[in-house]
Each structure stands twice: as structure tokens, then as C-alpha cells.
Structure 1
Amino acid sequence: MRRMGALVIGMAISGSALAGVDGNATLTTDYVWRGSSQTLEDPTVQAGVKLSSESGWYGSVWGSGVSFEPDAGARSEFDFVAGWGGSLSEDWALDVNLTHYMYPSTDQGVDLDWTELNGTVTFKGNYWLSMGVSDDALASDTTGTYAQLGARFPINDQWRIEAAVGQYFLDKEYADDYLHGQLSAIWKVHGPWELRLTAHDTDNAGKRLFGSNAGSRVEFAIQTAF
């Protein structure tokens, strides 16, 4: 899968002129993904880099510290992404990508890696609908479909509010479907620096699936782009 991702990225970027290289970095009190803590509620550092072409094709890699229970040895996560993003009209934009989630430090014989096809439709830059589909959701060898509806509400040049609700449809043989929501207040401190305070919550099905790593929690993050 890593070879295929590298090949797709290479073909996409080499097929047209390189438009830019962007990076990001985050220090967060908790890595919460789709309503569940990926670090047992501990802080971690995250960073990523993205290469984009003028035609809209791009490739990126993003990494974060992780910690799971039961412990399978995973201490890091790397997301390799190859996709295309661009405007469909004055108001609408589309992003479609293939994401490979990799956990290189797992114990011998444990495989937590998996791949997902994702798509996001954005309206006027402030409203979005995202879908993710995998036949190996959460490395479970079962099918999962994730849907998220979100919006951002600018208050002024420095402050904005973001809200999203997501539903994860999982095969019954693996787990129940579950619902989660999040609400963020973001303050653009200076230049590319932002402070983000996010409240997360999941329904009871999420708590049954992820235990104490789901449910209500608050995450504080300092992030920047470069």
C-alpha cells in the first residue's frame, strides 16, 4: 500500500508543475479522532507536509504520537494521502483522496494499518460534507462508512467557531454504529498561529466501543501553518 501511495503521489506531482509546499505543526493536550482519544488523553505533538501541483493533485504525510489500550506497541501514526482538490464552481469545491493510516511501531504480529477512500464537498468555504469508506475500517477486516457534516462561523478576523457532527456506520459483526460531535472556538493569535479549544462528545455506542477514550472531553491545541 505504501508503494502504491508513493507511486500515485509521484505521478500526480510529476504530471504537472509543482504549485507549493505547505506544512503544519500542532501541540495538543489530547489527540481526538472521530470522537475517541488516540493518546489515552495524554498530550502529543503532530506535524505534516503537503506537496501540491497546479492541476490540483497533491500528496501529503502527517504524523502524531499515539497510545492505545490494550497496548499493541503503537507509539506513532503516519497518514499518507494522495488526492485531488479544486473548485467546481464559484461556491463549490471538492477534495477526493486515498488515505493510508500506518502504525510502524506495533508489536510483531500486530497489524493496525488500514486504508480509506475519502471525499469532501465544501460550500462557500464554510460548510462541508465528508465521507470515508473502507473495507478494513479501523484495521478490523470489516466495512465501515464515516460521514461528517460541519460548518465554520467567522466572528471577525481573529475569532471563529467551528462545529461538526459525525456518524460512523460499522459492520455489526465488528461494532455498533456510533455518533459523535465537536464544537471549537479558534483564536488566530498572530500570523499563522492559532489557539483551538474543542469540546468532544460521543453517544453510548461510542463509549461501548472505545470505553473511557470516548464520551465527553475537552482538547486544547496550539497550531501553526508554514
Structure 2
Amino acid sequence: MNITHNTRRRPHQTLLLSLLLLGSAAIGNAGAQQLSGNAALTSDYVWRGSTQSQGDAAIQAGFRISAESGLYAAVSGSSVEFAPQTHASSELDFIVGWTGKLATDWALDANLLHYRYPATTVDLNWTELNSTLTWKDNYWLSLAWSPEALGTEHSGLYSQLAARVPLNPALRLEAMAGYYTLQQTPGGGYAHAQLSAIWKLAAPLELRLSAHASDNHARALFGEDYAGSRWEVALQGAF
């Protein structure tokens, strides 16, 4: 990617990582807990409109522990393929948060998420605050802010508006539009969109077909090989 990273630890990381550890400890003391997980094999790891695997296949898996209070902690991982000089081959995501109903039709999920890239030659690690407001389980608005967006020293605010449309018990559509406001980047950020069709196969497997598109600012920021229009096919399951 055409993003400049630093080799030193950014000043916000120590505080944010401390909050992540404190949140995990709180969940461990929160009483009854439930464990769940997920796994996926995808033809292309596309995240916020740009590929994280240079168009190659990626393997992904994650686990989540939830308390009755709504507190939860999760860890997930994926294979990645960034610019060769970074030597990045894997991504680990650590999350602590809370989710619950605000009213009959409204729900909120708020969390702290830390992206970590082991064994890289530059400091790609970064942390962000996320929130998702959901209406009737099928419509949602997500906001994510970080003082070190994409592993840089600059802030970024990501916003996404999305909808889920069940067509029948076995098939649903999901449409998403997002904009990433990035400090000190050409154009001030970029826009992208995604349209997915998800088929329920034999439980717990699903097949997802997604079309992605991003604007010229994304191509200028990440490079033609990372942004633009692309397809993604994934076999995914939850347990």
C-alpha cells in the first residue's frame, strides 16, 4: 500500500492497549460466559474497499467470549499480503466491547479494537474505537475513529451505512456504503461500496459473493493493485 508507516511506537498505543487489557479482565470477572467462533476461506480479503491480500485467497478465524451483561472480548486472525517491504503475512485483531438493546428495535455495539501485524519490519499496529447502531436487526450505521488510522500518525474517521434484505430463508442481500475521512491524504479520504449475496448452505456454512468498488481517491492512496473494483467469494461458518 502507498501508506507511510513509522518504525516507532505511536504515543496513543500504550493508553489504548491498557484499556484493552482492563476490558478483558472485566469480562473475565463478569459471571456466566458464552464462547462462540467463526471461520472463513475467501478468494480475496477486502477491507473497507481495498484488498489486504493483493487479490489472493485468505484464511480467517475468530473466537468470542460474551457475558450476560453484554460485555465481550474477541480475537480473530487472517492471512494478509501487504507491500513486500513490510513482510506482513498475518493480522490479529483483539476486541473488547459491549453490546445490547437500547429499545425494542434499537441495539448498540461499542468496542475498542486493536489491529496487530506480527513479525513486520515496520510498525503497522494500530487501535480504533468502534460503534454500530442497529435498527430492527437489518439496518445499521457504523462509526470508527482512530488517532493512528491505518497505522500512521494521523487520525481517521470511518462511517458506514448498511442494510440487510432477506429474500427467503436461504438467501439474503447486504448492501454497504462507506466513507473514510483520513487526515492529510489526497482528497481528504475515499468512498467505497459493497453488495453481497449470502446463501445458507448446510449448517453452519454460508457462501458469500461480494462486489466491491472504491473511488479514484482510494486508488491514489493505496495503488491500482489494491483498490478499485473487485469480486470476492467466501465460504464462511459460525459455531
Scaled by the length of structure 2, the TM-score of the pair is 0.90
Match of 1:32 in 2: 46
Q: Match of 1:46?
A: 60
Aligned residue number for residue 5 of structure 2: none
- The reply to whether residue 192 of structure 1 matches residue 190 of structure 2 is no
Tell me the equivalent position of 1:8. Answer: 23
Displacement, 1:86?
Answer: 0.5
User: How many angstroms does 1:175 deviate by?
Assistant: 6.5
1:225 correspondence with 2:238: yes
Within the alignment, does 1:58 sit opposite 2:100 as a pair? no
Are the aligned partners of 1:13 and 1:57 in contact in 2 as well (CA < 8 Å)?
no
SS at match of 1:190: coil
Figure out how many residues of one structure are paired with residues of the other and give that number: 223
1:117 CA displacement: 0.3
Higher relative contact order (CA 8 A, sep 6+): 2
Mapped pair 1:88 → 2:90: no
CA contact (8 A) 1:140 1:174 kept: no
Tell me which residue corresponds to 2:227: 214
Q: Of residues 74, 81, 103 in structure 2, which corresponds to 1:67?
A: 81
Aligned to 1:155: 167
Contact 1:175 1:209 in 2 (8 A): no
Quote how far apart the aligned CAs of 1:139 are: 1.0
1:175–1:6 Cα change, 3 Å: farther
Where structure 2 has 5 or more consecutive residues not aligned to the other structure, the ranges are 1-13
**1:155-193 deviation line (CA, Å, top 9, x unaligned):** 111000000000000112577310000000000011111
**CA shift for structure 1 position 13:** 3.2
Compute the TM-score of the two structures, normalised by the length of structure 1.
Answer: 0.95
Aligned to 1:111: 123
In 1, Cα distance between equivalents of 2:89 and 2:218 = 23
* Cα contact 2:154–2:184 (8 A) shared by 1: no
- Percent identical pairs in the alignment equals 51
Change (3 A) 1:35 1:60: same
Once superposed, what is the RMSD of the aligned Cα atoms?
A: 1.3
CA–CA distance in 1 between the matches of 2:32 and 2:111? 18
Partner SS, residue 206 of structure 1:
helix
What CA distance in whole angstroms lies between the structure 2 residues aligned with 1:25 and 1:45? 8
Task: Compute the displacement of 1:6 (Å).
Answer: 2.9
Matched residues in 1 for 2:28 and 2:109: separation? 16
Within 5 Å, give how 1:107-146 maps onto structure 2.
107=121, 110-146=122-158
CA separation of 1:36/1:149 partners in 2, compared to 1, >3 Å: closer, same or farther? same
Q: 1:155 is paired with a residue of what secondary structure?
A: strand
Give per-residue Cα distances to partners, 1:60-117, cap 9 Å, x unaligned: 001000111253011100000000000111100000000000001202xx10000000
Tell me what 1:203 maps to.
Answer: 215
Q: 2:3 maps to what in 1?
A: none
